Structure 1
Amino acid sequence: DMVDKKDVQEVLPAIKAIENLYVKDELKPDDRVTKVDFGYYTLIPLSTGVKVIAPAWHLVVNEDRDYFVNAIEGQVNKIE
């Protein structure tokens, strides 16, 4: 089967995920991104108990701040 190009979603490159952290004021000039991983994560636990798995970048800043950036839509989720 041929996949229709309009049905294929582009995944944000890692640099755009990092840029999203910067735009959201989560990166300061002396910060270092110490880990970059790509995977599928449960970003949105629904009230019905169903979990939605989405492609995301897992970024760690200064080895102690974790962020997940949705690789399709670009939302930033900070893990406290």
Structure 2
Amino acid sequence: MAIPSIKNENQYEALREKGYSKEKAARIANTPNAGKKGGKAKPYEKWTKSELYEQAKNVGIKGRSKMDKAALMHALRNN
């Protein structure tokens, strides 16, 4: 199996140092907004279900199509 490239290598390494698995660190580092700073993202409670679904899709959460808004928030926070 080929190893996927990492879009944000610095973020990936920082996550690995914090104890994240290789898979989870890669998923996070490869999201479209990986490494952007500023703390301007609104809390998940203020996101629409479709926004949460798209974010879950971006990070590769399985079973997202069957999740309600609360389940999507939980999965995004704990994946």
What TM-score comes out, normalization by structure 2 length?
0.29
In our comparison, the structure showing a higher alpha carbon Rg is 1
Structure with greater helix share of residues: 2
Structure with greater strand share of residues: 1
